[in-house]
Amino acid sequence: MTTLQATLSELHDRLAADRPLAQDLTLAELEVLLAELGQPRYRARQVFHWLHGRLATCWEQMSDLPAALRRELAERLGAVAGEVVADQRAADGTRKLLLRLRDGQQIETVGIPARDGRLTVCVSTQAGCALGCGFCATGEMGLARNLSAGEIVSQVYQFATPHARPEERGVSNVVYMGMGEPLHNYAATLKSVRLLADPLGMGMSERRITISTSGLAPRMRQLAHEGLHVRLAVSLHAPNDAIRSSIMPINRRYPLAEVLAAAREYAAETDRRVSFEYVMLGGVNDAPEHAAELARVLRTALPPALLHVNLIPYNPTAAGFASSSAASIRQFADVLRANGVRVTVRASRGRDIAAACGQLKTETNRANRSTIAALG
């Protein structure tokens, strides 16, 4: 790209970033906007369906809207959430996108196919993250900003088939497990769930949406009373406060007992099983006695039918933690099962494409820095 092209593209981005994103608006909000423009109410349904059902990314695609209205909408709203700056596919079919948002921030989104044809999309909710978990590449970046609801749902749309019936759009599940802490961006996260579930849009079942949290206990409690049917996944990663605080600073604010009490409230209020994510860090949290302790604290907090543990093999990042051996993971799972806790060992996906959250952005930036250094 020439210097002039780069300047023009930067200018274009700056102008686009000034306008609200069309995908941020609910149907009710679009109705207000279109009424202000003197349009009949059905126009709002048309526009919403173009954006969230037919996955349009520019106004020209909305062929059944009058050209004058399209121009007016284009002056008020942006329609493109981000552009793909890196697209990597792993041997196991996992696909990771690095997206550049309108203000230049970069985020990651991952599509994880299952053998039965289902596709799970893992979305980011923040550019960076403020929580600084020691084992996480995103944590090293700090928080740049929250994403808007439209920026969150547009990540899912990158993997969906436009112009298809809801059951044929190709995305079966959405997990909020990418960059950022979803409950730290609470309003946009909830709004994005409602946008994804809207029957005029993707029409996704809330039951196929999982929100993960590192344990923001007050927000977990609030979520329990929102009337949503989403799954809650709590990133526990340790059986006690000493280990948890050493790898997750948020534990000093909301210790294990408080997080588990909030998880119990969520399970009781929604009658939904809570899953506990546990990343297996070699020599840190993966000993058999840690498994026994974990089973004890979980069973004290929740009935066994309402809890499930997912053991996650660690995708090593630059942070200096190591993965547990396969034998340690097997043994850890056996101890949990022997103590009455249901457990799944997650397959490690996309190892060859830096699929751990924040890795692609870190590595791309690192590569860009080395290229710049080499040029300089």
Catalytic residues: 108, 357
Cα distance between residue 74 and residue 68, in whole Å: 10
Residue 49, token pair as written in the block: 């369906």
Q: Which is nearer to ligand SF4, 16 or 130 (CB)?
A: 130
The candidate with the shortest Cα–Cα distance to 232, out of 246, 249, 219, is 219
Residue 139, interface with ligand SF4 (CB under 6 A)? yes
Binding mask 83-122 for ligand SF4 (x = CB under 6 A): ----------------------------------------
Which residue from 25, 144, 357, 360 is in contact with ligand SF4, where contact means CB under 6 A? 357
Residue 214, interface with ligand SF4 (CB under 6 A)? yes
Closest CB 157 distance from ligand SF4, rounded Å: 22
The strand pairing partners of 225, in sequence order, are none
Of the CA atoms within 13 Å of residue 32, those in its CB half-sphere come to 4
Residue 138, interface with ligand SF4 (CB under 6 A)? yes
Closest CB 264 distance from ligand SF4, rounded Å: 21
Which residue from 24, 31, 108, 181 is in contact with ligand SF4, where contact means CB under 6 A? 181
Describe the strand order of the beta sheet including 274-280 as a list of residue ranges: 82-89, 95-101, 106-113, 119-122, 173-176, 209-213, 231-235, 274-280, 307-313, 343-345
Residue 136, interface with ligand SF4 (CB under 6 A)? yes
Of the listed pieces 4-12, 52-60, 87-95, 124-132, which binds ligand SF4 according to CB under 6 A? 124-132
Q: Which is nearer to ligand SF4, 88 or 214 (CB)?
A: 214
Contact 202, 166 (CB under 8 A): yes
Which contiguous run of DSSP H or E holds residue 149? helix 149-157
Which residue from 20, 93, 113, 132 is in contact with ligand SF4, where contact means CB under 6 A? 132
Q: How many positions of this chain bind ligand SF4 (CB under 6 A)?
A: 12
Q: What b/e string do you get for 227-261 counting C-beta neighbours within 10 Å, with b at 16 or more?
A: ebebbbbbbbbbbeeebbbebbbbbeebbbebbbb
Residue 179, interface with ligand SF4 (CB under 6 A)? yes
Interface contacts to ligand SF4, rule CB under 6 A:
129, 131-133, 136, 138-139, 179-181, 214, 357
